[in-house]
């Protein structure tokens, strides 16, 4: 917070490259697009810039029992229960993970480029943003602005899924409008979204298989042996899927040691994309109406996940 400077001052910094300066301006354009054309809440977010000397702004820890697809929960004032805990130090995040592993939990630690303070503070633009490809930056910005627009206390998975969906759709729409539908950056953004949708469908199938296994209540050793068989089968399936991907966004997931925490950390963002897509279609594929739909859900005090699945109606059948 104390290191922030106005983004216009940052543009005069000779230490920044011309690419970094152009990306800072692109952030401002994407922000205006979200506010003016989608109805995202107007904030002072991203009006300031912070230089960080680390590869991520923070690292999050996710944990889960070995035989349940259920996130360990932390509790915080204002936002309620949260299925991850963030640290500005990677070493502290790893220390937290080791402590949870000593208690028998599986863990996953991942770095993030941005976070939202939900409108309580003016979030800065971090230098970590500028390390991402141009096609990804509008999605990150619009994702975080969605959090400042619609937020359901204690429903982190829903909030992250909603922000991912809006960020993906809005990021593509912005780039197509700004550079043209056939511009390389717009094509790259569409390719990323397509891969996200395939990945989300894969996670749904994998999750259903694991939940069905865990529900059987078998002895732990037998459950873990059968889980490993599922992991082996699904890793082969995922490798086949990856041949059709346009990006390398999920190479790290393929290489990782799979466990419940890893799956939950990724499902948090991509697990409900198909349900969001059906509601988006019901709103005439109008992002402004889509966002307004969930603002009304929030205003009425409804359970967002029930509203999502009830409005989407069409159940996932577990098929690829």
The predicted structure's pLDDT at residue 119: 76
Q: Over 60: is that where the pLDDT of 41 sits?
A: yes
Q: Over 90: is that where the pLDDT of 256 sits?
A: yes
Please tell me the pTM assigned to this model: 0.91
Q: Over 70: is that where the pLDDT of 314 sits?
A: no
Quickly list DSSP for 115-126.
---TTSS-PPEE
Round to whole Å and give the CA distance between 163 and 169: 10
3-state secondary structure of 188: helix
The predicted structure's pLDDT at residue 320: 46
For the chain, what is the mean pLDDT?
93
Residue 16 or residue 79, greater confidence: 16
Split at pLDDT 50, 70, 90, the class of 1 is: confident
Element (H, E) at 233: helix 220-242
The predicted structure's pLDDT at residue 232: 97
The predicted structure's pLDDT at residue 251: 94
- In tens, the pLDDT along 163-197 reads 999 999 999 999 999 999 999 999 999 999 999 99
Q: How would you classify the pairing of strands 106-112 and 80-82? A: unpaired
Tokens 């402004």 identify what position?
Answer: 288
Proportion of the chain above pLDDT 90, given as a percent: 84
Split at pLDDT 50, 70, 90, the class of 258 is: very high
Split at pLDDT 50, 70, 90, the class of 102 is: very high
The predicted structure's pLDDT at residue 222: 98
Torsion of CA 165, 118, 46, 158, to 10 degrees: -10
- In tens, the pLDDT along 200-230 reads 999 999 999 999 999 999 999 999 999 999 9
Split at pLDDT 50, 70, 90, the class of 319 is: very low
The predicted structure's pLDDT at residue 317: 43
Q: Over 80: is that where the pLDDT of 313 sits?
A: no
Q: Over 80: is that where the pLDDT of 156 sits?
A: yes
- In tens, the pLDDT along 10-27 reads 999 999 999 999 999 999
Rg of the chain, C-alpha, whole Å:
20
- In tens, the pLDDT along 60-72 reads 999 999 999 999 9
- In tens, the pLDDT along 273-306 reads 999 999 999 999 999 999 999 999 999 999 999 8
Q: Over 50: is that where the pLDDT of 316 sits?
A: no
Q: What's 218's DSSP letter?
A: -
153 contacts 80 by C-beta, under 8 angstroms: yes
Tell me how many helices (H) and strands (E) the chain has: 12, 8
CA of 214: how far to CAs of 24, 58, 69, 302, in Å? 47, 32, 8, 29
């Amino acid at each position: 917070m104390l290191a922030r400077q106005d983004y216009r001052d940052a543009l005069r910094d000779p230490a920044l490259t011309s690419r970094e300066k152009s990306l800072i301006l692109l952030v401002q354009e994407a922000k205006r697009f979200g506010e003016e054309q989608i109805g995202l809440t107007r904030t002072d977010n991203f009006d300031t810039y912070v230089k960080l000397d680390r590869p991520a702004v923070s690292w999050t820890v996710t944990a889960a029992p070995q035989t349940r697809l259920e996130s360990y929960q932390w509790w915080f004032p204002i936002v309620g229960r949260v299925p991850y805990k963030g640290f500005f130090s990677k070493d502290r995040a790893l220390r937290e993970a080791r402590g949870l592993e000593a208690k028998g939990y599986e863990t996953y630690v991942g770095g993030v480029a941005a976070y939202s303070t939900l409108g309580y503070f003016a979030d800065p633009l971090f230098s970590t943003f500028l390390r991402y490809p141009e096609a990804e930056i509008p999605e990150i910005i619009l994702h975080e602005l969605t959090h400042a627009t619609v937020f359901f206390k204690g429903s982190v998975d829903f909030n992250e899924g909603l922000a991912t969906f809006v960020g993906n759709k809005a990021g593509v729409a912005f780039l197509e409008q700004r550079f043209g539908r056939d511009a390389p950056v717009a094509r790259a953004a569409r390719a990323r979204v397509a891969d996200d949708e395939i990945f989300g469908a894969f996670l749904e199938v994998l999750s259903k298989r694991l939940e069905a296994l865990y529900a059987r209540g078998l002895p732990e050793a037998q459950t873990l042996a059968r889980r490993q068989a599922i992991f082996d089968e699904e890793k082969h399936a995922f490798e086949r899927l990856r041949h059709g991907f346009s990006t390398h966004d999920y190479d790290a997931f393929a290489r990782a040691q799979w466990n419940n925490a890893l799956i939950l950390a990724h499902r948090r963002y991509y697990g409900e994309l198909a349900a969001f897509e059906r509601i988006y279609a019901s709103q005439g594929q109008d992002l402004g109406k889509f966002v307004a739909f969930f603002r009304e859900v929030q205003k009425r005090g409804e359970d967002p996940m029930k509203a999502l699945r009830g409005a989407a109606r069409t159940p996932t059948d577990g098929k690829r």
